[in-house]
Amino acid sequence: MSISRGTRVVLTIFAIIAFGFIYVPLGVILINSFSTDKSLTWPPSGFTTEWWGKAAESESVREALLTSIGIAIAATLVALVLGTLLAFALGRYRFFGRESISLLVVLPIALPGIVTGIALNNVFTSFLGGLTIYTLIIGHGTFCIVVVYNNVIARIRRMGGSVEEASADLGANGWRTFVYVTFPLMRSALIAGAILAFGLSFDEIIVTTFTAGPGITTLPIWIYQNLFRPNQAPIVNVVAAALVLVSILPIYIAQRFSNADERGGGLI
Amino acid sequence: MWANRGERILFRDRLPSAVRILNQGVTYAMPEPSVAIRLRGLTRRFGDVVAVNGVDLDVLDGEFLTLLGPSGSGKTTVLRMIAGFERPDDGTIELAGVDVTRVPPYARDVNTVFQDYALFPHMTVQKNIEYGLKVKKVPSAERKARALAALESVRLGAYGDRSPSQLSGGQRQRVALARALVNRPKVLLLDEPLGALDLKLREQMQVELKEIQREVGITFVFVTHDQDEALTMSDRIAVFNEGGIAQLGTPTDVYEHPATAFVAGFVGTSNLLEGVAAEAVLGRPGTWSVRPEKIRVVGVDAVPNDGEHAVRGTVREVVYVGMSTRFVVDLAVGGSLMAVQQNSEMSTDLGHLRGQQVQLVWDARHEYKVAD
């Protein structure tokens, strides 16, 4: 498609503005984390690594980080198992209510987190005897399943059934076909789904607020609690900046996997 | 590359050993050793649709049998039931005298070449071909040697390390063929394997496949909707229509003596004299088929010989198709017939005949009554 010069200039400007809105604030946080100011001000008045040191030593930051990682891993495992099973059921078999189930599976990601949160909170407190770390994991599982499911079902659709038939035709039973053909072709979709699920769980705050048992502080909740406390703003900046840097890696890896599969390869 | 005569001769030289090893395969109790596949009352329904309706068929040992029919006629479903991918709702399947109706695909001594080739994208070409041997626990060294021989037999000897995505359609097709043949099955099933290839390559592959089949002596069951392909390659053709076999016979049988109007139309050009026209021209009722190349186009004054039928009409269309010219003639008695004439004369521009009165003449022995 050819675009006129004028359109191209306008589009370029829009693109720059859009990217600016997304990435300039991230840059500001990174710069502020090295600022000598104790509150969020601009421009920074000096350079210091004091906050990075303090954040690294902070017991509460470390605890919140470990909690978040633990919950994200647990929610991801739950999502991997359930999401994959769902994707195979819905992608491979025709049965009554299939379309409805496929909608119900994807819905949680579209539902406002606050609705999911309140609903789960109601059920957990009224029927299941209150909130714990497990209720939090289940809460995260509801939307983590969706990303795993979406990745896996897209792969199942693209793969078709004939490679598995070919495997059976060549003498491999169901288990061997799974080990030699199905799983290797699924692997990168599973990894991409897992990384996305991990990321979703890791920074979730709304559902977390409603489903976390007492005393459980995930990293996003810690940030929220500390942002407006006196003298904590610089440390919050450091934590946020660190998270930006850490998040780039898994997203990059996830993208590489999906791209590798677009070429039909499957690198892993 | 397939047309390279020198290489093909090399391939032939290797073949006897393949045949010998084939014959050392598992021997079954065979009440009638000449039948490779026996289908009886084979039926498959999808919901309310009867895809295959009580098919009886004997495929003979070493035969090249084609299941020919339009899409939805049940030919592919029959093939998939022989392979074991579909369970019949009714009827039985025997391979070499053994009932395999309830045997899963991995335990049947047949191999399939899939329409989309179904190569494993995460394995090299070599690994693809070794797959069947690997799951049967053939030792690694023998596996490699056999895979390499199979690759060379389809002239892809240097391609073992490639990934399937790096191959062209024709090359993938040959890898799929090698992957199936390396297992030395009793029966090879081919599901429209040439459908994705361009015309030239397809014609080459038709000849090659037929040669490979004749030389390795494996029974081939070949599914296609292409009548030329079926006529070119088959020992026998089963013409499928609406879930059943409309006619089973040699290519000559099916083409020269179509059993039904459907067969007459599907294999070759539908060229029928029906109803009033048949009464008027042949003096007999019913539906009659006359193949276009049996009909001569002559002037209105020409006198037909003994044993010939003639009918007058107006030329509606003259189509020059290189080797021959096609005439569509509206008959004076109603209906129309097509006639094809070889362009063996120097001057073959017959366009001026359009709109002219002509006479169509054919030998009465070339009329065949078909069932309606």
pLDDT 10s digits, B260-303: 889 988 988 878 888 888 888 888 888 888 889 899 998 888 88
User: Which residue among A176, A181, A265 places its CB closest to the CB of B120?
Assistant: A181
A106 band by pLDDT with thresholds 50, 70 and 90: confident
Residues B285, B359, single domain; the answer is yes
What integer pLDDT is reported at residue B335 of this predicted model? 86
Residues B281, B246, single domain; the answer is no
B46 and chain A in contact, CB less than 8 A: no
CA distance B343 to A239: 86
CA distance A99 to A105: 10
What integer pLDDT is reported at residue B11 of this predicted model? 40
pLDDT over 70 percentage in chain A: 94
For residues A38 and A92, the model is more confident at A92
CA distance B290 to B294: 7
Q: Distance of CA B69 to CAs B205, B229, B235, Å?
A: 20, 12, 16
Cβ proximity of A141 and A78 under 8 Å: yes
The verdict on residue B174 lying in a domain is: no
Cβ proximity of B184 and B23 under 8 Å: no
The verdict on residue B154 lying in a domain is: no
The verdict on residue B151 lying in a domain is: no
Q: Distance of CA B96 to CAs B27, B104, B110, B216, Å?
A: 9, 16, 11, 17
Residues of A in contact with B119 (CB under 8 A): 163, 166
The verdict on residue B131 lying in a domain is: no
Residues B58, B191, single domain; the answer is yes
Instruction: Kindly report the nearest CA distance between residue A266 and chain B, in angstroms.
Output: 6
A263 and chain B in contact, CB less than 8 A: yes
What integer pLDDT is reported at residue B372 of this predicted model? 66
User: Which residue among B115, B119, B136 places its CB closest to the CB of A171?
Assistant: B136
Helices B169-181 and B125-135, interaxial angle, to 10°?
Answer: 20
Kindly tell me if the per-residue pLDDT of A224 is higher than 50: yes
User: Which residue among A166, A171, A265 places its CB closest to the CB of B114?
Assistant: A166
Mean residue pLDDT of chain B comes to 86
Residue B230 maps to which CATH number?
Answer: 3.40.50.300
Instruction: Fold for A59-262, please state it.
Output: MetI-like fold (1.10.3720)
Residues of A in contact with B105 (CB under 8 A): 165, 168-169
CA distance A200 to A76: 9
A248 band by pLDDT with thresholds 50, 70 and 90: confident
Helices B5-23 and B140-153, interaxial angle, to 10°?
Answer: 140
Residue with tokens 């495929």: B59
CA distance B326 to B315: 10
CA distance B177 to B55: 27
Q: Output the six-digit token pair for A112.
A: 């406002």
Residues B293, B257, single domain; the answer is no
A261 band by pLDDT with thresholds 50, 70 and 90: low
Residues B104, B192, single domain; the answer is yes
For residues B6 and A5, the model is more confident at A5
Kindly tell me if the per-residue pLDDT of A162 is higher than 50: yes
Instruction: Taking residues A213-228, report their average pLDDT.
Output: 87
Kindly tell me if the per-residue pLDDT of A64 is higher than 70: yes
Cβ proximity of B250 and B237 under 8 Å: yes
User: Could you check whether the bond before residue A25 is cis, i.e. omega within 30 degrees of 0?
Assistant: no
The verdict on residue B202 lying in a domain is: yes
- Could you tell me how many residues make up chain A? 268
Region label for B307, one of left (φ > 0), alpha (ψ between -120 and 50) or beta (otherwise): left
Residues B69, B202, single domain; the answer is yes
Cβ proximity of A266 and A71 under 8 Å: no
- Give the ranges where chain A is alpha helix by DSSP (H): 5-32, 50-57, 59-92, 98-110, 113-127, 133-159, 162-169, 174-177, 183-202, 206-211, 219-226, 233-262
Count the domains in chain B: 2
b/e for A28-63, b at 16 or more Cβ within 10 A? bbbebbbbebeeeeeebeeeeeebbeebeebeebee
Residues of B in contact with A158 (CB under 8 A): none
B131·A168 Cβ contact <8 A = no
SS3 of residue B82 by DSSP: helix
B253: which residues sit within 8 A by CB, 6+ positions away? B247
B104 and chain A in contact, CB less than 8 A: yes
Instruction: Taking residues A189-209, report their average pLDDT.
Output: 90
A165 and chain B in contact, CB less than 8 A: yes
In tens, the pLDDT along B73-123 reads 999 999 999 999 999 999 999 998 899 999 999 999 999 999 989 999 999
Q: Output the six-digit token pair for B198.
A: 């361009």
Q: What is the DSSP letter of B243?
A: T
A260 band by pLDDT with thresholds 50, 70 and 90: low
Cβ proximity of B159 and B125 under 8 Å: yes
Of residues A184, A180, A192, the one with CA closest to residue A154: A192
Residues B196, B104, single domain; the answer is yes
- CA-CA-CA-CA torsion sign (A115, A119, A120, A122): positive
Interface of B with A in 171-190 (CB under 8 A): 179-180, 183
In tens, the pLDDT along B207-260 reads 888 888 888 889 999 999 999 899 989 999 999 999 999 999 999 999 988 888
In tens, the pLDDT along A168-184 reads 999 999 899 999 999 99
Q: Count A/B contacts: CB-CB distance under 8 Å.
A: 73
Kindly tell me if the per-residue pLDDT of B165 is higher than 80: yes
CA–CA–CA angle B23, B25, B27 (5° rounding): 95
A266·B121 Cβ contact <8 A = yes
Residue B332 maps to which CATH number?
Answer: 2.40.50.140
**For residue B39, what are the β-bridge partners?**
B57, B93
- Could you tell me how many residues make up chain B? 372
Span of A35-49, A78-92, B101-115 with lowest mean pLDDT: A35-49
CA–CA–CA angle B321, B327, B330 (5° rounding): 155
Span of A110-114, A141-145, B115-119, B186-190 with lowest mean pLDDT: A110-114
Instruction: Write out B181-221 in H/E/C secondary structure.
Output: HCCCCCEEEEECCCCCCCHHHHHHHHHHHHHHHHHHCCEEE
CA distance B276 to B282: 10
Of residues A179, A268, A181, the one with CA closest to residue B120: A181
Residue A73 has, within 13 A of its CA and on its CB side, a CA count of 6
Instruction: Taking residues A40-65, report their average pLDDT.
Output: 83
Sheet with B336-342: list strands edge to edge: B296-298, B357-363, B308-320, B324-331, B336-342
B281: which residues sit within 8 A by CB, 6+ positions away? B273, B309, B311, B331, B333
Q: Output the six-digit token pair for A144.
A: 């983590």
Of residues B173, B149, B153, B207, the one with CA closest to residue B9: B153
Cβ proximity of B359 and B312 under 8 Å: yes
Residues B235, B330, single domain; the answer is no
The verdict on residue B165 lying in a domain is: no
What integer pLDDT is reported at residue B17 of this predicted model? 40
A162·B104 Cβ contact <8 A = no
B4 band by pLDDT with thresholds 50, 70 and 90: very low
Instruction: Kindly report the nearest CA distance between residue A267 and chain B, in angstroms.
Output: 8
Kindly tell me if the per-residue pLDDT of A127 is higher than 70: yes
Q: List, as one string, the DSSP characters of A43-101.
A: S---B--HHHHHHHH-HHHHHHHHHHHHHHHHHHHHHHHHHHHHHHHHHH---TTHHHH
Instruction: Taking residues A238-262, report their average pLDDT.
Output: 76
Measure the CA dihedral A154/A155/A157/A160, to 10°. 180
What integer pLDDT is reported at residue B343 of this predicted model? 83
What integer pLDDT is reported at residue B338 of this predicted model? 92
**How many Cβ atoms sit within 10 Å of the Cβ of residue B359?**
18
Residues B39, B95, single domain; the answer is yes
What integer pLDDT is reported at residue A121 of this predicted model? 92
H or E stretch at B132: helix B125-135
SS3 of residue A226 by DSSP: helix
Range(s) of the domain holding residue B336: 271-367
Kindly tell me if the per-residue pLDDT of B10 is higher than 90: no
In tens, the pLDDT along B308-336 reads 888 999 999 998 888 888 999 999 888 88
What integer pLDDT is reported at residue A93 of this predicted model? 85
Which residue ranges make up each domain of chain A?
59-262
Instruction: Kindly report the nearest CA distance between residue B82 and chain A, in angstroms.
Output: 11
Optimal mutation site among B103, B106, B136, interface A, most CBs of chain A within 10 A: B106
User: Which residue among B104, B111, B165 places its CB closest to the CB of A170?
Assistant: B111
Residues B260, B349, single domain; the answer is no
Closest residue of B to A181, CA-based?
A: B120
Residues B96, B210, single domain; the answer is yes
B114·A176 Cβ contact <8 A = no
Residues B203, B320, single domain; the answer is no
CA distance B85 to B80: 5
Kindly tell me if the per-residue pLDDT of B15 is higher than 60: no
Cβ proximity of B95 and B185 under 8 Å: no
A264·B131 Cβ contact <8 A = no
The verdict on residue B211 lying in a domain is: yes
Kindly tell me if the per-residue pLDDT of B136 is higher than 50: yes
The verdict on residue B177 lying in a domain is: no
